[in-house]
Amino acid sequence: ASAPNTILLDESSVPPANSLEEKLALRFSSVMGTSKESISMNADMFSSYGMNSLKVAQFVSEMRRSNDSYSGELSIRDVYESPTLRQLSMIINAKSNGTALIEDEEKNHEVSIVDEKAEATEERGYYPIITTGMKLAALVIDAALLGSISYYPMLLLLRVPLGIEYFFLWILYFYLGIIIFLISLLVLTWVVKMLLLGRIVESSVSNKSIWFFRWLIFDYLWSLLNFFLLHILSGTTWLNFIYRCFGASIGEGTFIEKPCIRVPDLVHIGSNTYISGEATIMCVDENPDNTDFGTVRIGNGSVIQSRAFLDINVIIGDQVEVCPLTHIGAGTKVQSGSRVSGTLAQVDTIGHELLYNMSSSQINSKGGLYFGLVTPVIILIVYGALLGLFIFSFEPIYLATGEDLGISVIIYLACGPLTAVVATFMLCPFVWIVRRVLLNGHLHSSKCHVHSMDFARRWLAKQIFEYSSVLLPEHSVFKRIHTRLLGGHMSIFDSFAPTPMEPDLFTSKEGIFTANGVVIRSFIVDITGIATFDSIYMGRNAVILDRSVIMPGARLEDNVTVGSGTVVEGSVTEGSLVFGNPPLMRHRGTQGKHEATLVQKTLFIIVEEVLTTLPHLLLGRLPRLVILAAMYAANPFGFGFHIAATVCSLFSAA
């Protein structure tokens, strides 16, 4: 026969003292698959033996199957509250004798029943994290690498029995971990670049070469670095400093709103240049057989506006303004002092009538309405089943074990996406106060230099607004309510996703629709470095199609339609269709849409929330959810499952 399994304990082995403890030790050893002699009555069943929720249920079931008088006295809650067999025996004895836990009416907390013969639990400097803590770690790792954890439909109970001060210590550790992760990612990306690629130069590389494979590794790490760290450093000198560390040549006084450089080695930007947040500097042209790398040079005092796209081997002189939605093709040279704007050539080739009919058909399509009526029923069933499964089968996650030395801190993270909503709106008062202090009240139409303190305060206020709503689903009523609370003037019944803008400068009426990729600019910078902040107004039933740019000072009257890829500046008269860059305007008449009733608007919001929130779960998060669920059910001790879940999540991310 094989030798019995034994588990090495940190505590000295304490044998059973009576028949009840003998029975508990026997049942517990049977469930855990070890010998009764290896069981210590004062050892923690979770941290010392690796007990989990399934084993707890099995242990309680085994005890209740016995014919003893005390067989029905043990509950699952008792096992969690009394994690040693000796404590369990005292609880069972107390229940059998009709003794209840003593309740202190003044302090309103539970007091354990202490046996005089029971040995005191040894006080330690730390307590081991049990296997369920590893599961929490896997969730946190997955969220840190791949996105917000808020879209998992789950109910977690986090209990820190060592006191409120330890809870805040855990929070500090969490932030410290994030900082270390970001710095490590930065260093790792730089080291990988130096080891695999060195300095990238102008060249044409075969997509089947080893060098191209190395480039893909660096490009993936660089995209992760852009998504995490560089977005946090947007608009600061730190962003320019990191670009320089990776090989970019950037002059003094250059302001880069957001990360926009694909290959830093091939970018040369002069001094006092402004680059908008939605601009793109590629330096790389990917083809089916080969990939070309080319330099992009931007002179001094130039301005690159929203949605501008600079291809490889582009040379831009000094004091050049590249207007929004302008694509400068490969090898183009722009003379100093020029103003480069979009062209109507493509619009002319298509034909105005055809373009007008295409835009009108997008607006009047009924497909979206039918889709919204049929699918919510199916989606609600799926979402309700997943949510119910997690709510009614959750288990407590104890971050520490041992004696209850202080006030227990309990946090409930419930209902998946609602976690992000609750957290965002809890921060709203703080964000509102900070913004009012930075803006000295409310922001109005004004001008300031891009390197002045006034601009720095306004930029910081805008960034705080943007990141305070980053967890909210796009095109959701929560996003619109959040914008209204922080100064925006809009209807919550619109199908409108507020883009990174300044809410104090935005006003809209009912019936607004914006497609994906629409940019609403709250300020614009000219070649002299002056930033102009101006208000934007949208009348009733305005429709803004994808990849359009609304510039500061734009005023759209009622029933205006903006076509795809259109720049809107100044006023647009009522009932007009605007398209192209620079835009053409055509009058469509003043007849508006049918005004919806309050019931119709409310139903629309319900349908919209289901359609905008569920894709995060069903498309982007479901593969990771299945992996994590399998990890919970298969083997709670195998930390390899956690690593496998994280690695597999990298390939399941959209």
For the chain, the domains span 19-111, 197-342, 416-595
Give the model confidence (pLDDT) of 36-89 as tens digits: 778 888 888 877 787 877 777 778 877 777 656 555 567 777 888 788 888 888
CA nearest to 276, candidates 319, 235, 240, 332: 235
Residue 4: the pLDDT is 39
Place of tokens 């399934």: 54
Alpha carbon distance 57, 505 (integer Å): 58
Residue 20: the pLDDT is 82
Alpha carbon distance 168, 295 (integer Å): 49
Q: Do domains 197-342 and 416-595 have the same CATH topology?
A: yes
Q: Are 290 and 204 in contact (CB under 8 A)?
A: yes
Low-confidence ranges of the chain (pLDDT < 70): 1-12, 66-73, 96-178, 343-420, 423, 471, 473-475, 495, 497-500, 588-654
CA nearest to 302, candidates 281, 271, 333, 280: 271
Q: Could you name the CATH architecture of 416-595?
A: 3 Solenoid (2.160)
Q: Are 302 and 273 in contact (CB under 8 A)?
A: yes
Give the model confidence (pLDDT) of 18-36 as tens digits: 888 888 888 888 888 787 7
Residue 267: the pLDDT is 94
Residue 416: the pLDDT is 45
CA nearest to 318, candidates 304, 332, 333, 298: 298
DSSP string, 323-386: -TT-EE-TT-EE-TT-EE---SHHHHHH-HHHHHHHHHHHHH--HHHHHHHHHHHHHHHHHHHH
Superfamily of domain 19-111: ACP-like (1.10.1200.10)
Looking at 116-254, list the stretches that DSSP marks H as alpha helix, in order from N- to C-terminal side. 131-146, 164-196, 210-225, 231-232, 237-245
Q: How many residues can be counted in the chain?
A: 654
As a CATH number, domain 197-342 is: 2.160.10.10
